[in-house]
Chain A
Amino acid sequence: MLPLGWQRRGDSRKRGGTPMTAHPSFLEVKEVQKHYGAIRAVDGVSLSVGPGEIVGVIGPNGSGKTTLFNSILGQIKPTSGRVEFCGEDITGMSPLELSRRGVGRTFQTLQVFGKLSVRDNMIVAAQEFKGTLPGRLFAAPDAGLGHHADEMIELFRLKHAAHLPAGSLSYGQQKLIDIAMAFMPAPRLVLLDEPCAGVNPSLVDQLRELLVELNKTQGGSFVVIEHNMDFIMKLCPHVICMVEGKVLAEGPPKEVQSNRQVLEAYLGN
């Protein structure tokens, strides 16, 4: 399956003037710091993500993973450091500007539009990338995204709930909607914050398979924060471990998992 959004996204970026040429590093985070008074939530983190790469970020609670995400994604302004996407400085850019550059995200907590149907959640996730603001007023009610939305709903096995309000579904189902929405506009880079949190263990493997398939079909890069070690070790060829706002170790999952410092950070001395 190659969702419609992928081609459309490419077109819009050509209009926007951002070069489409492949960069050795798609996302480059350079020495990012975020301080809250004396607390260094993120303390000089650097990382790079290549095109189509899946990178996992692990670390104990309070290690600064979500703050790093929020600093990359413009939800909060980093104290210092630089974030580049496809060679462009995106430090401190608003989430709106980032979404237009093809950067998507999911949040740690559920963020669906509860009163809208599942199908409308899918459509609204991609409609703003189609045409102009005045043009969308005169567009078809589904903004021409109905087929793509149905495909995504089917991929995430939510067909039975397609016309139900998203808020009426179980936590796990809403989590799947949340993730599916992030992929509707076929973003070039997606940052997933704890995608397995609250998901039924029997769905975790299914979710991993879905992410692998989306990575193949849409070709985007993913950065995934997760506490489920089995999930992240199977999904991500490259893993970064953060502790107390710093990168403690990085490399292939097995190498990081067996790193003595990582084990100490998780289990204590």
Chain B
Amino acid sequence: MSPRAGTIALVAALGFVAFAAAYLKRSDVYLLTLYCVYLMATMGLNLTVGYAGQMSLGQAAFFGIGAYHAAILLKLGWPFFVVLPGAAVACFVVGLALGFPALRVQHHYLAFATLGFNVLVYLVMRNEEKITGGTYGISAIPRPTVLGFDLGGHLAYFYFTLASLVALGLLLWWLLRSPWGRAFAALRDNPIRAESLGVNITAYTLLAFAIGAACAGVGGVYFASLVEFIEPGPFHFSTSLTMLLAVIVGGSGRFFGPAIGTAIIVLLPELLRGSSAPWLKFMQTWYLAVFGVAVVALMVWLPGGLLSIPERFKRKGAAR
């Protein structure tokens, strides 16, 4: 597919989703909004893991920092458009602060360092009751009003989240097309060679990590306003694993990989659960087991993720 045809298809798909949402049930619109929110975080993780080649198991912590930041400040009456960049900056700074010591290690050591960070953040959320409400969480988080439009309704908030997701996607697309994106890819492919060509691997690694964290923080802000009640549960490190899975299943290092992966992680289980088709009854009971087997099979036969399927067919065709 040519880039022009791809753009047209993408715009058409977004238009269709926006149109169809008006006719969906409230719970389905909620689910689509949740998908958009998680996609913000997984797109950021894709930058860190897929483009810059840094393993991270701490994305849920940044998602949580963004969510709590929003919950506390929105309840204090701060405007949404002050809270949103504030969360991005806060997560960017925390990402840098974590990155300096953590990025001295690589691969599985880095994964454990970030996992440790996630556990630490989770414990703070659970135990610092005065700030976070502990296990009781924070409730009655308001939804924003933008330019006089009240986004309290489920459909209005979905459109707002979808528009924000598109804006974030465009921003990341622009970033990855810039010389920074090329430096991230060089860093992932061959850091030793990259350094010998003047690529400051420390600076770019930190930037990739911190930008990925900022995206999760932005997702967290939208999450807090969506669910209107937050507690530490959704920010457990198991969410980081799920986010990483979404990136890898879709296609790590491919721009639309997280869109596919997040759909499988967030939308598919709910679609299966809600379906009344008799042949899906089996899947409703055995979803997790089937999913586990499917992921193992995918990693063995398709390590590049679902978006690598066309390439694989192309290669096979060329080999013949």
Contact = CB atoms under 8 A, between A and B. Distances in A.
Interface string B264-303: 0000000000000000000000000000000000000000
A171 B196 CA distance: 21
B203 A73 contact: no
Interface in A63-107: 73, 75, 94-96, 98-100, 104-105, 107
A1 to B, nearest CB: 20
A197 interface: no
A113 B178 contact: no
A133 interface: yes
A58 interface: no
B78 to A, nearest CB: 28
Contacts of A137: 175, 178-180
Interface stretch (A30-38, A117-125, A257-265): A117-125
A76 B254 CA distance: 35
Interface stretch (B9-17, B92-100, B129-137, B186-194): B186-194
Nearest to B183: A124
B256 to A, nearest CB: 16
B198 A185 contact: yes
Nearest to B318: A168
A95 B182 contact: no
Contacts of A116: 182, 185-186, 189
Given A113-B190, A137-B175, A73 B182 contact: no
A128 B197 contact: yes
Nearest to A125: B197
A114 B189 contact: yes
A161 interface: no
Q: Specify which of A113, A123, A124 lies most central, judged by the most chain B CB atoms within 10 Å of its CB.
A: A124
Contact of A128 (B185, B188, B193, B198): B198
B192 A127 contact: no
A124 B197 contact: yes
B189 A127 contact: no
A143 interface: yes
Contacts of A136: 178-180, 183
Which secondary structure characterizes the binding site on chain B?
A: helix
A99 B179 contact: no
Contacts of A95: 192, 195-196
Contacts of A123: 179, 182
A141 interface: yes
B86 interface: no
Given A137-B179, A138-B178, A113 B189 contact: yes
A181 B185 CA distance: 16
Nearest to B175: A137
Given A96-B200, A115-B253, A137-B175, A124 B182 contact: yes
B299 to A, nearest CB: 19
Given A114-B189, A115-B253, A127-B183, A104 B196 contact: yes
A231 interface: no
B193 A107 contact: yes
Contacts of A143: 179, 182
Contacts of A100: 198
B25 interface: no
Contacts of B316: none
Nearest to B188: A115
Contact of A113 (B180, B193, B201, B203): B193
Given A112-B190, A112-B193, 20 more contacts: A95-B192, A96-B198, A99-B197, A100-B198, A104-B197, A107-B192, A113-B189, A116-B185, A120-B182, A120-B185, A124-B194, A124-B199, A128-B183, A128-B197, A128-B198, A137-B178, A137-B180, A143-B182, A181-B197, A185-B198
Interface of A: 73, 75, 94-96, 98-100, 104-105, 107, 111-116, 120, 123-129, 133, 136-139, 141, 143, 181, 184-185
Interface of B: 175, 177-180, 182-183, 185-186, 188-190, 192-201, 203, 253
29 contacts: A95-B192, A96-B195, A96-B199, A96-B201, A98-B196, A99-B198, A104-B196, A104-B197, A112-B193, A113-B185, A113-B189, A113-B193, A114-B190, A115-B188, A116-B185, A120-B185, A124-B183, A125-B197, A126-B197, A127-B179, A127-B183, A128-B197, A136-B179, A136-B183, A137-B175, A137-B178, A137-B180, A143-B179, A184-B197
